[in-house]
Amino acid sequence: MGRRRKNELRDTVEVLAMLPWWASLIVAVLSYAILHALTKPLVMQPGADPVKQVGPVMLHAVIAAFATFGQYLVPALCVIAAALSVFKRRQGRELVGRVASAPSAAALDAMSWQDFERLVGEAFRQRGYSVVETGRGGADGGVDLVLRKGHEKFLVQCKQWKALKVGVEVVRELFGVMAASGATGGFVVTSGTFSGDATEFARGRNVELIDGVALHRMLRAAAVPSPAPRAAASAGQGTDPGIPACPVCGSRMVRRTARKGANAGKAFWGCERYPGCRGTRPG
Task: For residue 252, name the pLDDT band (cuts at 50, 70, 90).
Answer: confident
| CA gyration radius, the chain | 25
Give the pLDDT confidence of 188-244 residue by residue, as tens digits: 999 999 999 999 999 889 999 999 999 998 888 866 544 444 444 344 444 455 678
Q: What is the mean pLDDT of the chain?
A: 81
Q: What is the rounded distance in angstroms from the CA atom of residue 88 to the CA atom of residue 183? A: 26
Say if CB 171 and CB 198 are below 8 A apart. Answer: yes
**Lowest mean pLDDT, pick from 9-18, 26-35, 135-144:** 135-144
CA-angle at 149, arms to 144 and 154, nearest 5°: 35
pLDDT at 1: 52
CA-angle at 243, arms to 252 and 260, nearest 5°: 80
Give the pLDDT confidence of 63-95 residue by residue, as tens digits: 999 999 999 999 999 999 999 888 887 888 888
Say if CB 24 and CB 85 are below 8 A apart. Answer: yes
Q: What is the rounded distance in angstroms from the CA atom of residue 3 to the CA atom of residue 263? A: 62
pLDDT at 111: 84
List of domains in the chain: 3-99 (no CATH), 113-223 (3.40.1350.10), 227-283 (no CATH)
Backbone φ/ψ region at 261: left (φ over 0), alpha (ψ -120 to 50), beta: left
Say if CB 127 and CB 189 are below 8 A apart. Answer: no
